[in-house]
Amino acid sequence: MATVGQKLIAPEPGWMRVDSTDTRIEIARPIRTERNSTHYAGSLYYGNITTRFKFKGTKLRLIGLV
């Protein structure tokens, strides 16, 4: 199991990774987007972000910068 601060290159067994560019996730705009190949899936969002999504499962892990 991953710990806080550990870099996750790929999802752990049993987990599915969904990027913020997935059409099933709604991100309120306006925000600043930075495109860079070093970011996961090539994008990073800045600003006060409100995100809405539905999920079916027993665990949820949000990965981001603070």
Q: pLDDT per residue over 9-63, tens digit each?
A: 788 888 888 877 777 777 766 567 777 777 777 777 776 667 777 788 888 877 7
- Which phi and psi (to 5°) does residue 54 adopt? -110, 145
Measured CA to CA, the distance from residue 27 to residue 53 in angstroms comes to: 9
pLDDT score recorded for residue 1? 75
Q: Do you know the residue count of the chain?
A: 66
Mean pLDDT within 4-9: 78
Residue whose token pair is 């049993």: 14
pLDDT score recorded for residue 18? 80
Instruction: Indicate whether this model's pTM tops 0.85.
Output: no
